[in-house]
Chain A
């Protein structure tokens, strides 16, 4: 019996690569979204809400709910469930609306 999803589908992927999440190195597989790469590393939350500062990650998984917004390579408000992971991507936890630099 398969013990992982990759075993189940008989994946023979290209070599994995590294991205970082809040400075921590994690391994992503080619073809994964940023969200899938974070799940693969056991990370379920990468955003805090604007009001209460609560942690959030993927909820709908198909680009509808916007819970998975992340700051990807310094761009805030990217839907991590849709954006493919690329070697060297820098993912950081998005605080609130992601535009703190605009605050006066």
Chain B
């Protein structure tokens, strides 16, 4: 079957979290045919991640904030004609050569992208709602088993109902730490301390953003009360600067930081624990858009997000984005932006202007929540002194095991000035994760002063895929509007990953 024989969707939505769900159901309710692609088996994204139906959880909301918002989106999805395509890992979005103004969304399928059928979905417009992943800053011992990302621990708890240990220290920076600590404690873990590298007083410098976002204060109060209830202490202006243990975490050293996040000599305290949960905020996941040339904007925390207009359209016509791809701001903001993008895409494709009370109200809500997101990002931006946590033998790149000493050598002796040049000299960022885990840290080390704006990452393949999926591009499977999938001649090799020297 060739592409020309297949029907087109009006809108392809990539990502079924808050933003993607809101965009998909809104566009569908306004009359568009919509395909919703997501890597997971279930909708909800990372924020509303929850156990599979076979777990029979009667209180899934116990691990969530604002579950009713998700329940509402899920009900609207079930009542809609949206074609939900779970287990679809989108690796590229491109203009279809054959179709003029038609986008082709390419995906590999299966739990781990190892399915036998590569898939191409065609649509007249695309909404990217791919969310974010966690920013990590390295420190001695962070590769030891038992050290887990804060978002990762939350994800494993929400969907797998498991904990990495019984006594868990939570550390890093940002409000996610409070949410993670309270859910770990509610689920039975002992959390002796939350270690926050920034201070919370900086929020007070932006009274307008606080006053106009009272729901954020309520969230903080809810988490604060939960932490008090579980007797979890919060230590601001401190960091875990060392992990102890040989095969797994046995204890950590918590050290006070100065204003620039340099450790205060002699202030280290050892805290016994069997797991450490760490994270320094989130990085927008925008590879699909940057590969198409979409413009980006720097965020107050040094990461890059997509540059969007008042109706959520990227700088590439016909390509919209919502949620964390435009800057990290939480599930409520993502929902408002997704709805706005759905309205805008429907207006464009149906030949109507996008204005009116609903659009203005959504824009007001979005702008209000964005202003709080900017305050949050600025408050928790890594201080320039954090590289002082590193010893020369601390691994910075986890995949290629490149140490801080090797990276410093490439900067000081070989003249590297950016992450790309460091990568060429040292292989940092050249492994399986393609720099997703070490990129922010390497960029800071290359900038020498410890704080660098992250360049917008360009990864032509947004997820790993077997070479057979590329070979299959000549005769790809097309997901049709009415739901039939054509057979393909090609078979991918299950479990094959791209070579680690990309």
Contact = CB atoms under 8 A, between A and B. Distances in A.
A64 B156 contact: no
Tell me the dominant secondary structure on chain A's binding face.
loop
Interface string A26-65: 0001111101110110001100011110111111111111
Contacts of A62: 46, 133, 151-152, 155
Tell me the dominant secondary structure on chain B's binding face.
loop
Contacts of B39: 63, 82
A102 interface: no
Interface in B105-148: 111-112, 114, 133-134, 143, 145-148
A20 B147 CA distance: 24
Nearest to B51: A31
- Most chain A beta-carbon contacts within 10 A, residue among B39, B148, B500: B148
Interface in A2-30: 2-14, 29-30
The range of chain B's interface size is 35 or more
The range of chain A's interface size is 35 or more
Contacts of A55: 145, 247-248
A61 B400 CA distance: 19
Contacts of B143: 54, 56
Contact of B161 (A9, A59, A81): A9
A45 B186 CA distance: 25
B60 interface: yes
A58 B156 contact: yes
Interface in B419-446: 431-433, 436-437
B60 to A, nearest CB: 6
Contact of A78 (B114, B145, B147, B188): B114
Nearest to B399: A66
A29 B161 CA distance: 10
- Most chain A beta-carbon contacts within 10 A, residue among B59, B111, B133: B111
B247 A64 contact: no
B188 A66 contact: no
Contacts of A95: none
A13 B153 CA distance: 21
Interface of A: 2-14, 29-33, 35-37, 39-40, 44-45, 49-52, 54-67, 69, 75-79, 81-84, 97
Interface of B: 39, 41, 46, 51-60, 62-63, 111-112, 114, 133-134, 143, 145-149, 151-157, 159-164, 186-188, 247-248, 398-401, 431-433, 436-437, 494-497, 500
20 contacts: A2-B62, A5-B157, A5-B162, A6-B55, A8-B62, A9-B55, A13-B54, A31-B55, A32-B162, A45-B145, A49-B401, A60-B133, A61-B151, A61-B152, A61-B154, A64-B433, A65-B433, A65-B436, A83-B111, A84-B52
